[in-house]
């Protein structure tokens, strides 16, 4: 029967962000190499089909010829599966088997979006979230700097002193940790999701000490924020894609829990390094 | 004799008292609202079993020192507004409790205006 079937050799890479490992399988060696380079530092040492991962995606590469490349993102839960779709990709994830598939062209942006969506879905169930914020570790504690585009996430990252470890300049990864000794707390992890700085965060983590809501002004200062304002602003900066009611409620409760436990301040700063004298 | 009105919290809503403000989020459309003090009282008292006039008499008139007739008219209008946003359910009969609910903590209340904001990015 030789010649009747051709077995396609598939390669795999396991990308672990925030302690959640996602295996990506592809038959395209160039795409695999691109993933290994793009997520360097977050690719686990274990590779191949035997590497342990929480989620498994098969990537089918297609020519970049979708009907509408600028179509909006939609994430919907139907018949026990998550369906993710944007102008440049279509993906599905079965949360029960933890297997999914992605149909996209050979580019790094589509799979990056699928990874972000997958992590928001995972985190929402576990009391955590992805946040539009820079984050860094200083003196063993993590600090988050949240704000919309232009608020200063890249600037505060660029101004970070040498003793600060940058976790991300764009998308922070926050997990709720249950500890029998300390109860519930929050830990920030490094991410490969970059902003203008185009520099991957360090793949490390630390307990979250504070969230700063960024504002630019004539002086460096820290002001208190009411819990309700903190909750509103945290929700406004959270990445959340699903329109599923249960997931929305989970995200809402995660935000409320976070601001009830973690100090939140408004950080007004001028763009110079002295602002870091107020941090840590 | 006036018809009784009953109000219940929508099962599609998640709510949380943060500081002095009641935040509620609709699962549909990911819309966030901040309830004003009167809306917060209605939300907290909306058990589906207590008629609105009793809620007004025992919770609103005592809190704001307002005449019952005027307070009831305002409360009916507010309840309808909250129902339009999917926050409350309104009926002329007692409303049974849903099997599972997503509501959370409720305590004292205060502060301004319903304010929708989107969670979507």
ipTM value for the complex = 0.79
The answer to whether residue A52 scores a pLDDT higher than 90 is no
Listed in sequence order, the residues at least 6 apart from A65 whose beta carbon sits closer than 8 Å to its beta carbon are none
**Residue in A with minimal Cα distance to B11:** A245
DSSP-derived secondary structure for A123-158: HHHTT-EEEEEEEEEETTEEEEEE-STTSSHHHHHH
| Residue-level pLDDT at A150 | 87
What is the mean pLDDT of the segment spanning A195-219? 91
pLDDT tier, A196 (very low <50, low <70, confident <90, very high otherwise): confident
Residue pair B42/B82 in contact (Cβ under 8 Å)? The answer is yes
A231–B28 CB contact, under 8 Å: no
Lowest mean per-residue pLDDT among A72-76, A183-187, A233-237, A243-247: A243-247
Residue A237 phi, psi dihedral angles, 5° rounding: -105, 0
Q: Whole-angstrom Cα distance, residue B4 to residue B93?
A: 7
Average pLDDT, chain A: 91
The answer to whether residue B101 scores a pLDDT higher than 60 is no
| Angle at CA of residue A157, ends A151 and A160, nearest 5° | 130
| Residue-level pLDDT at A6 | 54
DSSP A70: T
Lowest mean per-residue pLDDT among A8-12, A64-68, B111-115: B111-115
CA atoms lying within 13 Å on the CB side of residue B17:
15
Q: Contacts of residue B121 in chain A, CB cutoff 8 Å?
A: 132, 238-241
The answer to whether residue B104 scores a pLDDT higher than 60 is no
CA-nearest of A217, A249, A216 to A235 is A249
A249–B34 CB contact, under 8 Å: no
What is the mean pLDDT of the segment spanning B22-34? 86
Whole-angstrom CA distances from A46 to A12, A23, A95, B67 are 10, 10, 23, 72
β-strands A141-146, A205-216 pairing: parallel
Question: How many CB contacts within 8 angstroms connect chain A with chain B?
Answer: 72
Residue pair A35/A69 in contact (Cβ under 8 Å)? The answer is no
Residue A258 phi, psi dihedral angles, 5° rounding: -60, -50
Q: Contacts of residue B98 in chain A, CB cutoff 8 Å?
A: none
Q: What is the dihedral of CA A162, A164, A168, A173, to 10 degrees?
A: 170
Q: Contacts of residue B26 in chain A, CB cutoff 8 Å?
A: 248
What is the mean pLDDT of the segment spanning A83-102? 95
pLDDT tier, B115 (very low <50, low <70, confident <90, very high otherwise): very low
Q: pLDDT of B42-70, one tens digit each?
A: 999 999 999 999 999 999 999 998 899 99
Domain with residues B7-96, CATH architecture: Alpha-Beta Complex (3.90)
Selecting from A132, A235, A249 the residue whose C-beta is nearest the C-beta of B27 gives A249
The answer to whether residue B114 scores a pLDDT higher than 60 is no
What is the mean pLDDT of the segment spanning A24-46? 92
User: Which tokens sit at A9?
Assistant: 């050799």
What is the mean pLDDT of the segment spanning A54-59? 96
Q: How many CB atoms lie within 10 A of CB A198?
A: 9
Test the B interface: residue of A117, A148, A252 with most B CBs within 10 Å: A252
- Is B58 near chain A, with CB under 8 Å? no
What is the mean pLDDT of the segment spanning A136-146? 97
User: What residue ranges do the domains of chain A occupy?
Assistant: 11-125, 129-278
Q: Whole-angstrom Cα distance, residue A157 to residue A101?
A: 35
β-strands B31-35, B21-26 pairing: antiparallel
* Percentage of residues of chain A with pLDDT beyond 70: 92
- Is B16 near chain A, with CB under 8 Å? yes
């Amino acid at each position: 029967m030789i010649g009747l079937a051709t077995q396609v050799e598939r390669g795999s890479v396991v990308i672990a962000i925030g302690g959640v490992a996602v295996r990506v399988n592809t038959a395209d060696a160039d795409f695999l190499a691109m993933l290994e380079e793009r997520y360097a530092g977050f690719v686990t040492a274990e590779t191949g089909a035997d590497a342990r991962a929480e989620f498994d995606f098969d990537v089918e590469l297609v020519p970049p010829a979708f009907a509408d490349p600028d179509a909006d993102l939609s994430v919907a839960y139907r018949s026990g599966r998550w369906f993710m779709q944007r102008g440049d990709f279509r993906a599905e994830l079965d949360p029960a088997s933890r297997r999914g598939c992605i149909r996209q062209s050979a580019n790094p942006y589509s799979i990056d979006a699928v990874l972000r969506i997958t992590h928001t879905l995972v985190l929402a169930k576990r009391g955590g979230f992805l946040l539009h914020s820079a984050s860094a570790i200083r003196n063993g504690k993590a600090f988050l700097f949240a704000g919309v585009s232009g608020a200063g996430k890249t600037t505060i990252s660029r101004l970070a002193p040498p003793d600060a470890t940058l976790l991300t300049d764009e998308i922070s990864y926050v997990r709720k940790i249950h500890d029998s000794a300390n109860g519930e707390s929050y830990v920030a992890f490094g991410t490969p999701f970059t902003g203008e700085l185009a520099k991957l965060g360090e793949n490390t983590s630390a307990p979250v000490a504070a969230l700063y809501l960024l504002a630019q002004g004539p002086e460096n200062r820290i002001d208190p924020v009411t819990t309700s304002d903190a909750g509103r602003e945290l929700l406004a900066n959270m990445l959340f894609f699903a329109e599923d009611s249960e997931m929305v409620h989970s995200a809402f409760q995660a935000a409320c829990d976070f601001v009830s436990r973690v100090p939140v301040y408004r950080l007004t700063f001028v763009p110079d390094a002295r602002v870091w004298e107020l941090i840590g | 004799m006036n018809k009784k009105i009953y109000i219940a919290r929508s099962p599609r809503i998640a709510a949380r008292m943060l500081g002095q403000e009641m935040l509620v989020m609709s699962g549909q459309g990911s819309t966030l609202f901040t309830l004003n003090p009167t809306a917060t009282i209605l939300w907290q008292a909306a058990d589906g079993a207590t008629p609105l006039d009793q809620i007004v008499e025992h919770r609103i008139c005592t809190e704001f020192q307002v005449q019952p007739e005027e307070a009831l008219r305002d409360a009916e209008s507010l309840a309808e507004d909250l129902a339009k946003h999917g926050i409350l359910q309104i009926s002329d009969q007692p409303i049974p409790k849903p099997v599972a609910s997503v509501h959370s903590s409720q305590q004292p209340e205060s502060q301004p205006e319903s304010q929708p904001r989107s969670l979507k990015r």
